[in-house]
Amino acid sequence: MNTAIAREYLDLVKFHHTLFALPFALLGAALAAFSPDGWRGRAQDWVGIVLCMATARSAAMAFNRLVDRDYDALNPRTAGRHLPTGRLSVRSVALFTGLCAVAFIASTLLFLPNRWPLLLSVPVLIWLLGYSYTKRFTSLAHFWLGASLSLAPVAAWIALRGGIAWPPVLLALAVLCWVSGFDIIYACQDVAFDNQAGLKSVPSRLGVPAALRLAALCHAFMILSLVGLELSYPLGKIFLVGIAGVAVLLSYEHALVRPDDLTRVNLAFFHVNVIISIGLLVFGLADLVL
């Protein structure tokens, strides 16, 4: 595969958007690995977490492009994507999806003798791929997506500890509320098309003003979940500063988008949320180390 083709596939799955979920997987792993006597876990476990995140997300995104290619061709906002324009063929994207799925399952072997990641890999993959069909039958598709990304910190904890506890669950709840909220904001761009095509979303069901209010409520619950994480782990003052920073950034995100002005949705969607994701990881690691 030459460099140009590789770039097409990376652009197909928006590989740089891995920055949304990977920091939360790494934070979940850090919480699982930390102890007052030193860090637990093997180097291969951390490699496995990164590989699982990248391959699972790539499989899910490529599958989404396959499933939605006909809708993408009709939507002016997405008509320039790879499949509608023929930049990549259906067959090649299907093959890419399959290879990423196999690579995800294979990556879980790095966690052996802990067998839970391998045993759970197929159910997790089915859940991730299932998201692509949700807008056809439920307006709650945003929350399915949020639940998909929220698996990252829980999976990382299970990979390192072989069990479950409240800290990764609360972190997962924060991710679910965060992703669901900003996906609702993002979906406001497609209200007219969704109504025309018979697709379901919160903005098409409730209208843009009510959808933005629900997104704000989701983000308020994210902050509450992060506070619950700080209390249950427990973390310290540095992490509390990080939570305060997240609250400020979320407020800024909602100030960027108004029902009568959706021109800055992409700024709110990508730039602000990447800062939130990476920033929370940095503050979480700083709290654990210092």
State pLDDT tens for residues 52-87: 999 999 999 999 999 999 999 999 999 999 999 999
For the entire predicted model, the pTM comes to: 0.95
CA 36, 38, 39: angle at the middle one, nearest 5?
115
Q: pLDDT digit string (tens) for 156-190?
A: 999 999 999 999 999 999 999 999 999 999 999 99
Given this model, what pLDDT does residue 36 score? 65
Find the radius of gyration of the CA atoms of the chain. Answer: 19
Phi and psi torsions of 34, nearest 5°: -75, 140
Residue 37 confidence class, pLDDT cut points 50, 70, 90: low
Q: For residue 242, which of 257, 229, 260 has the smallest C-alpha distance? A: 229
* Contact yes or no for 161/169 (Cβ under 8 A): no
Contacts with 183 (C-beta within 8 Å, 6 or more apart), sequence order: 142, 145, 146
The yes-or-no verdict on residue 25 having pLDDT over 90 is: yes
Share of the chain above pLDDT 70, in %: 99
- Distance separating alpha carbons of residues 198 and 192, to the nearest angstrom: 10
Per-residue pLDDT reduced to its tens digit, 239-279: 999 999 999 999 999 998 888 888 888 777 778 898 999 99
Residue 92 has pLDDT above 70, yes or no: yes
DSSP result, 118-142: HHHHHHHHHHHHHGGGGGGT-TTHH
User: Is pLDDT above 70 for 44?
Assistant: yes
Q: Quick one: pLDDT at residue 290?
A: 87
Length of the chain, in residues = 290
Element (H, E) at 275: helix 273-289
**Fold topology of 3-289:** Tetracycline Repressor; domain 2 (1.10.357)
Q: Where are the domains of the chain?
A: 3-289
d(CA 16, CA 22): 10
Q: Note the pLDDT tens digit of each residue in 202-253.
A: 999 999 999 999 999 999 999 999 999 999 998 999 999 999 999 999 999 9
How far apart, in whole angstroms, are the C-alpha atoms of residue 237 and residue 258?
Answer: 34
Q: What is residue 1's predicted lDDT score, i.e. its pLDDT?
A: 57
Q: Rounded to whole angstroms, how far apart are CA atoms 162 and 235?
A: 22
